[in-house]
Every structure is written in C-alpha cells, then in structure tokens.
Amino acid sequence: MRKRVFFWISGLAGVFLLPLLFQGCGSDMPKPNIVFFLVDDLGYSDVGCYGSNYYETPNIDRLAEQGMKFTEAYAASCVCSPTRASILTGKYAGRLHITAPIPIISHKRQATDGNITPLKDPDYCMNLPLEEVTIAEALKPAGYATASIGKWHVCDEPEYFPEYQGFDLNVAGDGHGATKNYFYPYYNRWRMTKGYPWLEWNTLPDGDPGEYLTDRLTTEAIKFIEENQEQPFFLYLSHYAVHTPVQAKDSLIQKYSQKPGDTLKGHIHPEYAAMIESVDQSMGALLGKLEDLDLADNTIIIFTSDNGGHRQWTTNYPFRGHKGNFYEGGIRVPLIIKWPGVTKAGSVSGHPVISNDFYPTMLEMAGLELMPEQHLDGMSLNPLLKGAATIDRDALYWHFPHYTSMCDVVRYHDWKLIESLEDGSVELYDLKTDSLEQHDLADANPGKVQELKSMLADWRQHVNAQMPEPNPEYAKEQSGN
C-alpha cells in the first residue's frame, strides 16, 4: 500500500506538537522556497564559471557568484534514470535497482557488436516504487507546494508519474527521457513505437507553432512560482536540454556560428552552444521573477546535471570520459548552490559530494528532521554550505551491471578504483595527482587494489546490488553446441 501517512498526531498532544514539528529553524522565519534546476547531459565545463570560453552562461555564472560552486560534485550514475532516482530518494542506484536508463530497448541484451557476451544484464527496476518517500512527499507535510516541470524519466508506466510521487503539478514529465522535437509539437521520441495504449501522449500536448521547449518549461515554472508565492514551494525544474536531438533557436545558432570555437576544450558546436544559452536564459528568467516577487532572499537554488556530456557534442574538459562511462568526465558534474544568508557568496568547495546528498540537504534547509531510514545513502551538505571544509564520509560508490560499461566504482579519499564486472580487471587512479586518469596505478599498488575491491564487495552486499548473470548462449557458443 502507498505510504502516504508521515505523522500521527492525536488528542491534546497534537495541539502542542504540530506547531513545533514544522516551525523549522525559527518560528518567525518563513520556510525557504527551493528550486532544483536540473540540466540533462550538461558536461563539467559546459558553463562559463567552470571554464568555458565559448558557451555563454552569464546567469548561471551569476548564481555561482552569489552561492557556492562545487568542483568535485558527482552524479550518482553516468546515465540519467539512476541519477534522477537517487536525487528523488537519497539512495544509491544500486540499492534501488534502477541502474540503467528507463526503458532501454536492449536491457536484456546478450550480445554487443554482434558478439555474444559472457554475461547478460540483470533485470532492473523500471518504475520508481511508490513506497519510496520522495523528497516532494517529505516536504509536503511542512506546507510546501510541489511541482515537477520537465523530464521525469524514472518510470515506464503512467501510474508512477510525478503526480503519484508527491508532486502537486506535473508538466511534461512522462516515463522516457527524450523529446523527439524541441520545437512544438513536442512528440516523445519512443512512446509512439512501444505499443502502449497511451501512445499518443506527448511531452507537452499543446503549444504554439515555433515554441521552444526550454522556453515553454520556463514559462510553466514561472507560472507555478507566481501562483504559489504566498506559501513555501519546491520546484523541480528538470530540463530536457541539452540532451539530443541537438536543436536550438536559429538566432542563437547564428550567434555562435560567428564566434570562434574553443578547440582545446572541444567547445565547437554552435547548435549545442545555443541550447546551453537557452538553458542559461531559463535560469535568468527564474532569477528575475524571484527578484520581482521579492522572493530571492528566501529561495534556495540548486543547479546541477544528471551526468557528463555527450561525447558527440562536448568533451567534459579537462577530464577523461563522457556520458555512459565512469571516468571523471562521465560522472563529475557542475554543481552550484545558492542559499541566501547561509552560503558565502562566491565560495568554492572541493569536497566530494554526490546526487544522493540532495535529499537530506533539502530537508535540513527546510528546517525538517532528517529521515535516515529513507535517504540511507545521502549526507547533508549543510556543513559545507556553512563553511566547513569536509563532511564525515570517506567513500562514494557507483554500480552499473550493464553493457557496455559493466563495472563498479569506488572513490575512497583520493583513490578511485574501477572494477570490471565481466572479467574482474581493475584500474586504479590517484585523483589528487592525476585527475585526468592517465596513469593506471593498479599493478604498482596491489594492496590498495585489494582494499578497495573488498570495500566494493562489502558495499554491494550491504545495498543488495543486482549483478549481471551468466549468459547461457555464451556457454553454448564456447562449447560448440
């Protein structure tokens, strides 16, 4: 049964307890609004304040000047659905068994590039369970209005849409993670071919000819803010951009076509640059509306990406790797948090953090009690946001039991181990001296390799991670039958 009841208060005790339960940090202080601004497939340096000289992001850069920029922030996966599930629940993707994009046509794949593989992908959870208490459900009892606007991508069936996961409003959020077209009409890329009875469902069912999806989602977000300005609100604005197909407004494409690209960083595509600027314009519109409504000083903004950038369009400079693998370029992402009156303007944190951490962070920001039985794998970032250098955690973990990046990863202090789940081979890097992951130190450090492999094995058992399965077709092929 759906777990909807959070607090049982009865009799006279409830009269006294209820005001205390939700008063937050101070009875005279209104609860802060929270805007979670999530970009799809945005690479680490695809923002001006993270080093790009080609992409123009003045509004995101201004956010960094007003808040804290994190230089070692990680997505919970190198692909979208697992990271999003971790954001919403505070749990590792391996614990949730949401470890690959939803749906993936070849999620039971047995062959890669025409060759039968020794292992096959395990079945994985295709819908974020309704039993999970999402961050939206955790905030609602405290009086928050909640909206999910944009990409959802943590389910395969409509009964798991945002409106059934604690969000009062769902705009443009269905099961899949890509739109076929960024200009109206916004047909979903895959739904029309999957044979569902609701196959006519669009990313957005209405719009004006020529309307651009990023702009439309921004308009919907602003409307939500205007309608809920008298109460605390949680806005989960999850843009489809800059995910493929790479489509942008002609005026911006022309602008970047006339601007020299940054070949060193691989920032050379005018269409992609134009998409990024539209996302930045979205941020600017939100910041402007919050200021116009005198809400800016009581609104927290969290800006990040769900994984590294697509290798066809960017390089994730200066790091090795890209969306879909677990080198730094596939999982290290930009993260900026503005918490007015708390975070020091223009501050920088170099402490490793991960998507699971947002859930407990937002609870504490709202003045609410932590829910450790829910956000089992997250740690509040509030000490960092208040000026601490570190939080008390030594290791971060990733689990991906699927081809083509079938591996597990642990980062322990500055050591990073990547272990193949197919053949047990490992790579070991010292990120303190080699953040580009150019020098594999596994052979020179067998003791450290064994230590980290043991940590991974213990962690897998602790979270009950699903593992790839032996492929009977491979065994037949090897035996000649």
Active-site amino acid positions: 80, 153
Nearest-angstrom CA–CA distance, 368 and 360: 9
Element (H, E) at 217: helix 213-227
C-beta separation of 300 from 35 below 8 A: yes
Distance CA 352, CA 392 (A): 11
Q: Annotate 353-367 with b (16+ C-beta within 10 A) or e (fewer).
A: bbbbbbbbbbbbbbe
The separation between the first and the last C-alpha atoms of the chain, rounded to the nearest angstrom, is: 48
Backbone angles phi, psi at 70, to 5 degrees: -105, 130
Contact 108, 123 (CB under 8 A): yes
Torsion angle (degrees, nearest 10) of CA 100, 101, 105, 109: -20
Judged by DSSP in three states, 468 sits in coil
Which candidate, 208, 195, 241, places its Cα nearest to that of 60?
Answer: 241
Give kind and range of the element (H or E) at residue 276. Answer: helix 270-292
Hey, what are 274's tokens? 């134009």
> From the CB of residue 389, how many other CB atoms can be counted at a distance below 10 Å?
9
Query: What is d(CA 449, CA 428) in angstroms, rounded to the nearest whole number?
Result: 7
Question: What is the total residue count of the chain?
Answer: 481
Q: What does the alpha-carbon distance between residue 140 and residue 133 come to, in Å, rounded to a whole number?
A: 11
Contact 73, 332 (CB under 8 A): yes
Place of tokens 């699903």: 466
- The Cα 214–Cα 25 span in angstroms is 35
Whole-number Å distance between alpha carbons of 134 and 37 = 17
